Structure 1
Amino acid sequence: MLSSNELTGASETHLTAVDGHKLHPDTAQAYLAMQKAAATNGIELAIASGFRSLDRQLSIWNRKWRGKLPLLSKQGEPLDVSTLTDTEKMHAILHWSALPGSSRHHWGSDFDIYDPRPFQSNELKLRLVPAEYTDAEGPCHTLWQWLTQHAHESGFFFPYARYQGGVAQEPWHLSYRPVAKECHQQLNLQLLAETINSLAIEGKHIILENLEQIKKQYVDTITEDDGWTNIWCGY
């Protein structure tokens, strides 16, 4: 069980270093086992992003709110921040970025994964867009296919395997179920409200007014099954 500060990304005392990133020790052990299993099948995997602190998530949120980072529609098209209401802006951010204090990356149970080999020449840059994984010609497609069949063997699942009205599809996002499930159960509405109230966060008033909906739509709505039923077409 994590402390409130660990759960909301304000503390890193629950983490250990692995492959240049920070994960919960149980997640790290499972990741290394999965990495070893992948290697025996000629698959190389690496972490693009592991733990993300509360301060970093807050910085992302505030810069998007102010228009200093791109704000995108659900179709990935640039939005004009000045034309949006606060409520529209809030939902636009939440589709692509977690509310500070609620990110699964705070827990050390979740990380973004990729195949590093296509990017070694620096001619190709990882963008973390679905096409890199789900398209047959995508640089991480072979890795994604292997993960859809084998990640569960090491305790991992895809919380954002498909769009369900909340967070966008993220075929790169893996979650270590034993740790994530406990953290998800711990993260209650009161803790989220206390965290948001403590932050210098843009749009605080509209966030607090809609916090219950935000939790239901963007925090609690995840893919609980293997993630790719009726989507994956064979490896």
Structure 2
Amino acid sequence: MLTVQQLTGQTDSHVVCNEICRPSVRLQAPVFAAYSAMHSAAAEAGLALGIASGFRDFDRQLAIWNRKFSGAAPLYTIDGAQLDYSSLAVGEIVEAIMTWSALPGASRHHWGTDLDVYDPRPFAAGEQTLQLVPEEYDEGGPCHELALWLQRHAQDFGFFFPYRQYRGGVAAEPWHLSYRNLAALAQEQLSLEVLQQALSDADLAGKEYVLACLQELKERYVDTICGANAEEEDNGWVFG
């Protein structure tokens, strides 16, 4: 079980590095063990598997949030169209951010259980830059073959896609894998009260609105995920 500080990304004492990845990528040790087995299986299938992002701390998530809230970074619709920041009300800004980026303290990347994966080979020469957009994982995209393999095999290693489909909250993320058992425990721990406490002293842009609407925002963007067993879902894989 994680401490509140670990759960909300305010410490990194629960995550470690592993020689299979660059030092900046950190996860819980059992997650790395499962990833290593999946990495080997992918290699045996003739595929390359890499981690673009693992643990992300509270301050990093806060910086992303504040840049987007201030208009210093672009905001997008669920379809990927850029929004006109100057025309948006506070609530619309918050919803646009949370469609693509987590609220600080509520990111699954704080837990050390979640990772963004990709095929590193098409990007090795530097001619392409990984954007982590659905088109890269769709048919014809540089990570499509890997995405198909992960759809079939990720669950064999204890992983699932929490944002396999758009469910009215976070956009579909075909790159985002979660280690099922440990992530489920963390999600149970992340109560409304824990999240309120994490945000209360933070220099969060739009904090007054966020705290006033936190229960609704948490239900829509934090609690609403796809089930761990894709076969139990109704509508298959929807990554576009």
TM-score between the two structures when normalised by the length of structure 1: 0.96
Contact kept, 8 Å, 2:165 with 2:237, in 1: the verdict is: no
Is 1:2 aligned to 2:2, yes or no?
yes
Equivalent residue pairs, number: 232
Where 1:179 maps in the other structure, the secondary structure is helix
Q: Does 1:188 align with 2:157?
A: no
* Percent of aligned pairs sharing the same letter: 49
How big is the shift at 1:75? 1.7
Output one character per residue of 1:97-137: Cα deviation in whole Å (capped at 9) or x when no partner: 00000000000000100000111111111111111112x21
Is residue 155–residue 176 contact of structure 1 (8 Å, CA) maintained in 2?
A: yes
Q: Distance in 2 between matches of 1:232 and 1:103?
A: 23
1:165 aligns with 2:168: yes
Contact 1:9/1:52 (<8 A) preserved:
yes
Deviation larger for 140-149 or 219-228:
219-228
The residue correspondences of 1:6-155 to structure 2 (distance < 5 A) are 6-18=6-18, 19-20=21-22, 21-134=25-138, 136-155=139-158
1:99 aligned counterpart, secondary structure: coil
Which structure 2 segments of 5+ residues have no match? none
Give the whole-Å Cα distance in 2 for the aligned partners of 1:232 and 1:129. 15
Give the Cα–Cα distance (whole angstroms) in 2 for the partners of residues 132 and 204 of structure 1: 34
Distance 1:59 1:210 in 2: 21
Q: Is the 8 A contact 2:164 2:237 kept in 1?
A: no
- Residues 202-225 of structure 1: CA deviation (Å, up to 9, x unaligned): 000100111001110000100014
Structure 1 unmatched ranges of 5 or more: none
Alpha-carbon RMSD across the aligned residues, in angstroms, is 1.3
Residue type at the aligned position of 2:164: A
1:174 matched to 2:177? The reply is yes
CA deviation after TM superposition for structure 1 residue 226, in Å? 3.3
CA contact (8 A) 1:23 1:50 kept: yes
Q: Which SS does the other structure have where 2:115 is aligned? A: strand
Counterpart CA distance in 2 for 1:225 and 1:50 is 19
Partner Cα separation in structure 2 for residue 178 and residue 198 of structure 1: 31
Deviates more, 1:89-98 or 1:217-226: 217-226
Contact 1:158 1:226 in 2 (8 A): no
Please list every run of at least 4 consecutive aligned residues from structure 1 whose deviation after the TM superposition is greater than 3 angstroms: 225-233
Structure 2 residue matching 1:79: 3-state secondary structure: coil
Distance 2:198 2:236 in 1: 37
* Kept in 1: contact 2:15–2:28 (CA 8 A): yes
Inter-partner Cα distance in structure 1 for 2:146 and 2:222? 26
1:232 is displaced (CA, Å) by: 5.0
Q: For 1:133 and 1:202, how far apart are their aligned partners in 2? A: 32
Deviations 1:18-63 (A, max 9, x none): 2121001111111001101111111110000111110000000000
Q: In structure 1, how many angstroms separate the alpha carbons of the residues matched to 2:185 and 2:201?
A: 24
Q: 2 CA distance for matches of 1:122 and 1:43? A: 19
CA distance in 1 between counterparts of 2:81 and 2:140 reads: 23
**SS of corresponding position for 1:47:** strand
